[in-house]
Structure formats: structure tokens, C-alpha cells
């Protein structure tokens, strides 16, 4: 047995009971390892909330996992791995390797004060890895995504037309954001701060979710269940790695300027001086009643807004319209530039984004050893059962090597060379390979 070899393994549980699922996801992951794991990354769907709760899920995990194993994780809308694609259950990545140092961190109150949360988290990572001599640095960041208050008319409806309730809603939003921490995730702000504080790390990020009702989501830090937080896994290792974001969106010739939006830039009220929702539908040549609550996903998700995060109007990233309240378009990313364009994509294009992404790793000297992939939940919801074609591409690429695609809301990568990419409807990889001997 080569004791210096990297071992990585995927765990899976489809049990409904939280405690049993926690045990099974660890047992299935560590059965393939000869040494205890250096870290454990856990993803779960929201269903365990009603089947024992997330504390019981983590209790089940630490019934089996050595108590000193660093663990981070969170809730996702679904996941895909070497075994299948699932919208219910739990999955985990366990890695064991002697030439690797690991630290985990967290920061609380991301919706109220994202910069402070990022600073708290970055400090823990820096402190934990200060004595490490390995030069390749990686940071996985799981951040609480947007949450709506659990009350009518929010729950489930993506389109709310009554003008009275809209004004109240938007007013209530700012109260809710700071006091209740129910509102925009502000995960883009957390990522920007982390990239500023830890600029020599390669980062992968995703916003934790429920089943897209957007009512609640959770983060895991060792045996603790957190809310409105960022949790991070920092790694320094001999293994090489890179990150890449692709989305394959095509720019249409429908361009506009945002002339009025909310203070934080996330809610668009007017486009070219006209009410935003009506103007958007007019530009798309859609009748006013074409988008409904029932067909929201298969219509609007294929036409996200394109925005520039770096001032380059030729390089537009997708920004999904998450809801339409009256004439206001609610998005989760704060845009700096007022220029925008409608982007579009079809199912084939969504799959090609994977090929485009994996191509960027083809010139690496060794095959992948393991991978973590943050993919937008909108990709899962629009591809539906065709999502299996996404997994088949990954199976081809990774062969027997472990990988997890976790479906999140608001996904990102950062590298010192390419900078921060924080968009929607994208495919984001962090892939590790052995350095040249």
C-alpha cells in the first residue's frame, strides 16, 4: 500500500431519516479510504428538515466520522456524483492525503454585514494555514443564498402583480434584510471580500439553497448547523488545481440601460426610463401574460439579463430574474454597470458549457484526481431529466475518479489570474491533479 497516495471518495445516502442518512453518507465515503480523511464536505437537500432535522443529520455523520475531522457543507437543491443525479438525499467528498494542510472557517450574519462575515472567515483560514509550506491554495466557500420570509404572497409565487402589495413588499424587504436576515443573499459581496483578503487562493463558491422555494437554507460547520453564514474550507497542498467558470450564453441584439433600480442594485425598476417588466416583455416580443407562475422556469430562465461586473460590455455574464414584483425585476446579483443586454441559451447550449469548461483542463499534465463543481440550480431545473446528460459528460472526463456537482444559487470562481466570476446559470469547476513527478 502506498501510504503517500491521495485517496478521495464519494459518499451517498438516499435514506429519509436524518440520523440514518448522516451515518450512511459517511460509511459509504470512508469505506474506500485507508486513512481517516483530512476533510469532509457534506451536501444535503432540504428534506431532512422534516425528517429529523439537520442537527440529527450531523449527529449521524459524527456517529461514524472521527470527531476531529474538519467538516463544512450546506443545503443544495440537488447534486450529481459518480452514482447518479438526485434532488433528494445527501452526498459527501472525503479526501485523505498526507501532503495537505486543511483549515475551516465561518462568518455569521452574511445578509446583514457580508464584509464582516468574510473577514471573520478569512481570519480563521489564515490562522489555520499559517504554518503550511504547501504552495497550492484552494478555498471552497458555501454562503447562505437569498431567502424570502415564509408568508403570503412570497411563498412559491414568482410573479406578484398587485401594485399595493409591491410597494409594501419592497419596503418590507429592506426591514427584513437587516432585522430578520431574510432577503438578498449578498453572497457576491462575501465573495468579493474573500477574494480581496485571500488573493492568492483559487476559489469555488456557491449559495446554499432549499428546494427553490427560497424560504430557508443551512450551512454546516463541523457538528453545528448555521444560518445566514459563510463556511469555508481552506486547503494547501502539493496537488495542483485550477478553477473555471463557463455559461455559454449568447448575447442577443436586445440592449438596454437600467435607469432606476434599488439602492443595492439588485431590484430593477426601470429600463430605458420605462417600467422594467413591461419593457422587458415588449423587447422580447412576448405578450404581457406570457410569463406565468406555472411556466416561469422554462421561459424566463432561458433569457437572463446580461450584465458586466468589470466594466467590459463585451463580456456579459448572466443574471437571472428570480421574481417579478409588479413592474420590478428581482435579481440576486448587484450590477455595477447600467448597461445590459438580454442573453439566451437552449438545452444544447447548457450542455456545451460543460464541454467548454472541461476543455480548459485538457492541457494539464495529469488526469484529474477529484473535482468539486458548483452548478446553478436553474440549469438543473431547466434541463430536468436531461441533467443526466450533464453527468455523463463528467463521468467521461473523471472516469473512476470522484466528483460532485452541487446545485446552488449564485455560483462563482476566483483565481489570481482570472479574477472573480460571480454569475448565474453557470458551470463552475475546481479540479485537482497530481503535480508532475
Partner 1 sequence: MKDDPIARVLDDLLKFDDILACMVGRRGMIDSILPSDGTDSFKPEINEIWDIVRRTMDSQLSVISEFSRVGLKRLNFQLQDYDVMFYVIPDTENALVAIVRALANRGLIAVEMENARREIIRIREEEEKKLFATT
Residues lying near partner 1 in the complex (CB under 8 A) are found at 16, 77-78, 84-88, 156-157, 211-213, 293-294, 297, 380-385, 387-388
* Least spacing, CB of residue 319 vs partner 1, in Å: 19
Q: Could you give the 3-state DSSP secondary structure of residue 329?
A: strand
Whichever of 143 and 387 has its CB closer to partner 1, that residue is 387
Within 8 A by CB and 6+ apart from 38, the residues are 69, 70, 95, 96, 97, 100, 102
* Least spacing, CB of residue 380 vs partner 1, in Å: 6
Q: Could you give the 3-state DSSP secondary structure of residue 233?
A: strand
**Which H or E run includes 85?**
strand 85-86
* Least spacing, CB of residue 424 vs partner 1, in Å: 15
Whichever of 99 and 213 has its CB closer to partner 1, that residue is 213
Whichever of 50 and 362 has its CB closer to partner 1, that residue is 50
Q: Which three three-digit cell numbers place residue 134?
A: 504547501
* Least spacing, CB of residue 304 vs partner 1, in Å: 16
CB 6 within 8 A of CB 239: yes
* Least spacing, CB of residue 14 vs partner 1, in Å: 8
Burial of 396 (0-12, 13-18, 19+ CB in 10 A): exposed
Whichever of 78 and 410 has its CB closer to partner 1, that residue is 78
CA distance 376 to 381: 9
Q: What are the distances in angstroms from CA 366 to CA 138, 202, 298, 405, 437?
A: 18, 19, 39, 21, 10
Whichever of 78 and 402 has its CB closer to partner 1, that residue is 78
Whichever of 241 and 380 has its CB closer to partner 1, that residue is 380
103 - beta bridge partners? 234
Within 8 A by CB and 6+ apart from 224, the residues are 58
Percent helix / strand / coil, the chain, rounded to 5 = 30, 35, 40
* Least spacing, CB of residue 385 vs partner 1, in Å: 4
* Least spacing, CB of residue 393 vs partner 1, in Å: 17
Q: Could you give the 3-state DSSP secondary structure of residue 118?
A: helix
Whichever of 87 and 254 has its CB closer to partner 1, that residue is 87
Amino acid at each position: 500500500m502506498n501510504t503517500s497516495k491521495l485517496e478521495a471518495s464519494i459518499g451517498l445516502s438516499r435514506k429519509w431519516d436524518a440520523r440514518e442518512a448522516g451515518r450512511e453518507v459517511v460509511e459509504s465515503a470512508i469505506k474506500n479510504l485507508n486513512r481517516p480523511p483530512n476533510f469532509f464536505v457534506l451536501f444535503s437537500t432540504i428534506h431532512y428538515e422534516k425528517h429529523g432535522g439537520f442537527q440529527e443529520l450531523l449527529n449521524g455523520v459524527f456517529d461514524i466520522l472521527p470527531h476531529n475531522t474538519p467538516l463544512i457543507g450546506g443545503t443544495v437543491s440537488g447534486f450529481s456524483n459518480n452514482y447518479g443525479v438526485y434532488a433528494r438525499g445527501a452526498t459527501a467528498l472525503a479526501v485523505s492525503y498526507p501532503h495537505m494542510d486543511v483549515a475551516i472557517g465561518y462568518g455569521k450574519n452574511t445578509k446583514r454585514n457580508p464584509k464582516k462575515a468574510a473577514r471573520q472567515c478569512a481570519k480563521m483560514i489564515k490562522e489555520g494555514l499559517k504554518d503550511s509550506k504547501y504552495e497550492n491554495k484552494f478555498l471552497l466557500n458555501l454562503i447562505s443564498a437569498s431567502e424570502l420570509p415564509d408568508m403570503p404572497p412570497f411563498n412559491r409565487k414568482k410573479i406578484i402583480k398587485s401594485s399595493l402589495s409591491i410597494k409594501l413588499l419592497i419596503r418590507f424587504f429592506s426591514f427584513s434584510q437587516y432585522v430578520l436576515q431574510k432577503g438578498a443573499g449578498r453572497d457576491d459581496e462575501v465573495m468579493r471580500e474573500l477574494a480581496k483578503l485571500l488573493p492568492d487562493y483559487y476559489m469555488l463558491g456557491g449559495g446554499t439553497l432549499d428546494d427553490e422555494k427560497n424560504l430557508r437554507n443551512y450551512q454546516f460547520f463541523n457538528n453545528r448547523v448555521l444560518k445566514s453564514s459563510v463556511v469555508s474550507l481552506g486547503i494547501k497542498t502539493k496537488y495542483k488545481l485550477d478553477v473555471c467558470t463557463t455559461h455559454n450564453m449568447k448575447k442577443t441584439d436586445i440592449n438596454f440601460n437600467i435607469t432606476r433600480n434599488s439602492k443595492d442594485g439588485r431590484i430593477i425598476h426601470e429600463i430605458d426610463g420605462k417600467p422594467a417588466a413591461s419593457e422587458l416583455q415588449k423587447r422580447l416580443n412576448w405578450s404581457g401574460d406570457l410569463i406565468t407562475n406555472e411556466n416561469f422556469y422554462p421561459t424566463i430562465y432561458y433569457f437572463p439579463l446580461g450584465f458586466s461586473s468589470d466594466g467590459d460590455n463585451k463580456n456579459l455574464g448572466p443574471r437571472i430574474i428570480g421574481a417579478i414584483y409588479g413592474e420590478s425585476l428581482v435579481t440576486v446579483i448587484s450590477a455595477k454597470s447600467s448597461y445590459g443586454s438580454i442573453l439566451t441559451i437552449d438545452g444544447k447550449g447548457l450542455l456545451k458549457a460543460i464541454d467548454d469548461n472541461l476543455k480548459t483542463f485538457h492541457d494539464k499534465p495529469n488526469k484529474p484526481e477529484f473535482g468539486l463543481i458548483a452548478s446553478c440550480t436553474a440549469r438543473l431545473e431547466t434541463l430536468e431529466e436531461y441533467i443526466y446528460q450533464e453527468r455523463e459528460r463528467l463521468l467521461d472526463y473523471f472516469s473512476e475518479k470522484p466528483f460532485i456537482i452541487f446545485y446552488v444559487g449564485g455560483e462563482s470562481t476566483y483565481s489570481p489570474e482570472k479574477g472573480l466570476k460571480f454569475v448565474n446559470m453557470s458551470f463552475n469547476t475546481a479540479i485537482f491533479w497530481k503535480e508532475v513527478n
